Amino acid sequence: MMSKFKQNNLFDIQVFVLLYESLNSTLVGQALNVPASKISRSLKALRHSLDAPLFIRKQHGFERSEFADEIYPSMKKIIQIAENCSRLNIESDNTHKKEIVIACPPLLSSNLSRLLQDKATEHQKNYLFNIKPCTGDVGSLIKQKEIDLSITHRAYNTEQLQSDFIAEGESLFLVGNKSHPIWETTNPTALDNILKQAYIVVDMPEFSDPRDPLEFYAKDQGVELNIEAKVSGLADLGALLETSNGMALLSSLSAISFLNKNSDIRSMRLSAEQQLQLCQRSGLPRHYLTKRKQNHQIPSWLQLAITQFIYDNVALKA
């Protein structure tokens, strides 16, 4: 078995480690910037060399085999050693932290910095993650090397930039003060019910139009929306929800988790039918990981961690 294993390259091992950690071959392909067919060939080659099953394909992803559980620590160690060797060649002084600037929509950035720092520690890397809010000129900032990676809501596939699709935003949540009378109604998330309430417009750049999707819906229904305030940050939104009867819609699970820490705030997910009805004109929001094509300093594990973070926050779980 070991003589055959020598025929495998570091890429095969990297594919195995990333798939073991994410159980999602699409995300692994995006992180390594290779097509799904190459991921499949790599796994097949490794499985042939080791003469043992590594993953069991399920309806929604993969399941690890017992053999995969057994060899993962050793495979992970090989990747870490390789990354350490590569870093020694690139960085003359390993005592200084390497800063990586990541642009992220404010409502999606909650807990991202802590997650990436934990991942860096896990990979024994000394990184400083600078999380900045996304702006309209993010494409130019990436080209100018002022930003290394960005979560964007449209694709920037140009000569210099590359955008990998992550997921559509498949969940919308209604949030408000827990004492609001809407929670006592039969169907709190019914759109016609929401239209009757004071409403807080939250800046959601993930939608193709700067207007809130409920503003579109209200206009189509011939109803004037009672807008109480407009906000772009979670702190401001939380303060308003705590002290007013205004309701709001959010699409990020991390934002909902942040607000739910406040015992005065309650949230409820809209049904799939309600969301489709609401987003008929604006469409479901799309999320991409955008970077410079020639930026080889961003490790694949970091790209995968960001991709998995966004996917977990916006994709509807089965």
Task: Estimate the share of the chain in helix, then strand, then coil, as percent rounded to the nearest 5.
Answer: 45, 20, 35
Query: 2-90 — its CATH code?
Result: 1.10.10.10
Q: pLDDT tens-digit profile of 113-129?
A: 999 999 998 888 888 99
Given a contact cutoff of 8 angstroms between Cβ atoms, the answer to whether 274 and 249 are in contact is no
pTM, entire model: 0.67
Q: pLDDT tens-digit profile of 131-156?
A: 988 777 888 899 888 999 999 888 88
pLDDT above 80 (res 208) = no
Query: Tell me, what's the pLDDT at 89?
Result: 56
Topology (CATH level 3) of domain 98-167+285-314:
D-Maltodextrin-Binding Protein; domain 2 (3.40.190)
Q: CA 250, CA 199: separation in Å to the nearest integer?
A: 12
pLDDT above 90 (res 252) = no
Using DSSP's 3-state secondary structure scheme, residue 126 falls into coil
Q: CA 92, CA 95: separation in Å to the nearest integer?
A: 9
Using DSSP's 3-state secondary structure scheme, residue 166 falls into strand
Q: CA 190, CA 199: separation in Å to the nearest integer?
A: 14
Topology (CATH level 3) of domain 173-278:
D-Maltodextrin-Binding Protein; domain 2 (3.40.190)
Sketch the domain layout of the chain as residue ranges.
2-90, 98-167+285-314, 173-278
Domains 98-167+285-314 and 173-278 share a fold: yes
266: confidence class by pLDDT, cuts 50, 70, 90: very high
If one counts every other C-beta atom within 10 angstroms of the C-beta of residue 307, the result is 25
Given a contact cutoff of 8 angstroms between Cβ atoms, the answer to whether 13 and 79 are in contact is yes
Q: CA 314, CA 42: separation in Å to the nearest integer?
A: 29
Query: Tell me, what's the pLDDT at 193?
Result: 92
Query: Tell me, what's the pLDDT at 280?
Result: 81
88: confidence class by pLDDT, cuts 50, 70, 90: low
Q: In what order do the strands lie in the sheet with 127-133?
A: 127-133, 98-104, 149-152, 286-292, 161-168
Q: CA 209, CA 217: separation in Å to the nearest integer?
A: 13
